[in-house]
Amino acid sequence: MLNLFSGIFKTQQPAQRTFGWADGIVLALVVVVIYAGVRLAIDTPAEIEGPSISLAPEVLPYYAVRSVGRMAAAYVLSLGFALVYGRVAAYHHWAEQVLMPLLDVLQSVPILSFLPVVLLSLSAVLPQGVAAEVASIVLIFTSQVWNLVFVWYQSLTTIPGELNEAATTFRFSTWMRFRTLELPFAAIGLLWNSMMSWAGGWFFLMAAEIFTVGEKDFRLLGLGAYLQEAANQEDYRAIGMGIAALVLVIVLLDQLVWRPLLAWADRFKLEMTESDNPPTSWFYDVLRAAHITNWLDGRVRQPLMRGLDALLVRTPQTSVTRNGTNGRQRRPWFAYLVLAAVGLGLVYGVAQTGQMLAEVPAAQWSNIATGVAATLLRVMIALVIALAWTIPVGVLIGTNPRIAAVLQPVVQITASIPATALFPVLLLVVLQLPAGLNIAAVVLMLMGTQWYLLFNIIAGATAIPQELKFTSTLLRLNRWERWRTLLLPALFPYIITGAITASGGAWNASIVAEYFQLGGKTHQVTGVGALIADATAEGDFHLLLAATLSMILTVVLINRLFWRRLYRRAEEQYRME
């Protein structure tokens, strides 16, 4: 049974230590990396020439392939990173002490503000074209990976105890456990978050493809650069074709990739009663009926999987106990030398960072503190608004396959359209209202926040076993009782996962939400995002470093003091058992 009838608000079990030595080391490491990037950025060439962007219709397929290629490369890296990172953090207490604080820090880094540093620092050590391509993939990677890590970690820590015991009893190897238990159990959550990763990735792809800093042109051939060039030339025909090409790519991905995968993954739902309306896909049906697909399955996939099983089944079994370890192993002497060298490097880097921060005037520190408070308030408002509508809509889509077949492509397309493309139209309306700039900032944060919640809630609602829905019907639970005893407890882990990534997305979106240009004029509101954007535009690297680190520290504190406690509650009380 699901542990669903104990109520959401229970006395919290003794919390684990909130902060420790690992947090200090992680923060020091990130500080040093950011400082190194800033120092490299200062030494870049004064002028960099970008590519020539054509607006001819015949280049759109080529540009679309370039953009999708960058997205695909970043997604493959994100998925591989998430599977390794989340599994190590879930099963090893010593690793979790370092990896989870590091995850909190990394997902809080405002990459839109750090993009200039990434591009400029890479340009100092790599050829121009290579630097821009690598930077774009890194930027998309950072927008795709964190929610995948969180949902994979959440799935591993909420696997039912009886399934863990069965895997231990049958002495599954690490590979067999991964292939037959962990990956199937997490499949639905990973799929919906993969769709979210691609939706969020389009926003960052557009930003990466059109980036310029003064005389340094880092634009890349792709749909983002095409749309920007069309807007600069006020070529409305080209703008329409560019948007149409983007929507067509998103629809094709939905119909040819995501819908077939969702139909295939329905088999992994943890239930004993088959759903009356399972998700369907016309392309999945075509693939199943095709003889060549069956031939490839029998001649390629199955022999390959048998070979992998034979090769990897002999690997030693890892501990599957939560926070377990594989026993103590003595470290070789050179490991201590490496640790000592890393420690000395961290000390030196932190000292240099401190010296750079000491040059920031007291007045700017006061502005940073005020900006952090203002941005925090906007993030909280955006998150509350997002929760208010994503929970009911996500449950509706996740529990009704017929509605999902209609709304899921609409949601996927809407989430994939970059919010910044619609923002100028929004500004023309809200700037006429009292506090219009603040309203616009909250709305843009909301547009960058709500989809993380919606996709996770849909995944959670989809994963509710059918027999539990039948049981709630047989017990004649009214609507409120059904929400209180079944839906909200079952969704709780997914809501927390979505809220963590959504809040990180809102902080990141503050960079463009609080500082924007319209009609040749610069508009900004009080906030740390505006300070970061202004420092980037002015080339004030001291203020950029101080404001960025302040934002990171704030997000880490919120994650550790608030979200991590709720994560523990989800892990301990609301899991399939």
Residues 6+ apart with CB under 8 A from 89: 95, 96, 99, 100, 103, 153
In this predicted structure, which of 28-32, 156-160, 445-449, 466-470 has the lowest mean pLDDT?
Answer: 28-32
Integer CA distances (angstroms), 266 to 111, 462, 463, 487, in order = 35, 9, 9, 19
Determine contact, residues 459/186, Cβ cutoff 8 Å.
no
pLDDT of residue 272: 60
> In this predicted structure, which of 114-118, 239-243, 501-505 has the lowest mean pLDDT?
114-118
What pLDDT was estimated at residue 24?
64
State residue 108's pLDDT score: 64
Domain borders along the chain are 21-270+279-320+361-573
Q: pLDDT, tens digit, for every residue of 402-458?
A: 787 788 778 877 777 766 656 666 666 777 777 778 888 888 888 877 888 998 898
Look at residue 379 in the predicted model and tell me its pLDDT. 92
Which pLDDT does position 323 carry in this prediction?
A: 45
What is the mean predicted confidence (pLDDT) over 198-221? Answer: 73
DSSP structural state of residue 48? B
- Cβ contact 412:250 at 8 Å: yes
Q: According to the model, what pLDDT value does residue 130 have?
A: 79
Residue 376's pLDDT band, with cuts at 50, 70 and 90, is very high
Q: Which residues contact 517 (CB under 8 A, 6 or more apart)?
A: 523
The residue assigned the tokens 């994963």 is: 463
* End-to-end Cα spacing for the chain: 5
Cα gap 515→528, rounded to integer Å: 10
What is the CB neighbour count within 10 angstroms for residue 175?
16
407 contacts: CB under 8 Å, gap ≥ 6: 396, 397
**Closest to 28 in 3D by CA, of 338, 360, 351, 359:** 351
Please tell me the distance from the alpha carbon of residue 90 to that of residue 186, in angstroms, as a whole number.
13
How many angstroms separate the CA atoms of 183 and 88, rounded? Answer: 14
Write out the DSSP string of 116-145: HHHHHHHHTTS-HHHHHHHHHHHHHHHHHH
Query: What pLDDT digit, counting tens, does each position of 492-519 carry?
Result: 888 988 888 888 878 877 887 888 766 5
3-state secondary structure 148-203: HHHHHHHHHHCCCHHHHHHHHHCCCCHHHHHHHHHHHHHHHHHHHHHHHHHHHHHH
Q: Kindly report which listed range (114-123, 450-459, 473-482) carries the lowest average pLDDT score.
A: 114-123
pLDDT beyond 90 at 77: yes
Rounded to the nearest 5°, which phi and psi values hold at 576?
-70, 120
Is pLDDT at 15 greater than 50 in this prediction?
no
Q: What is the mean pLDDT of the chain?
A: 78
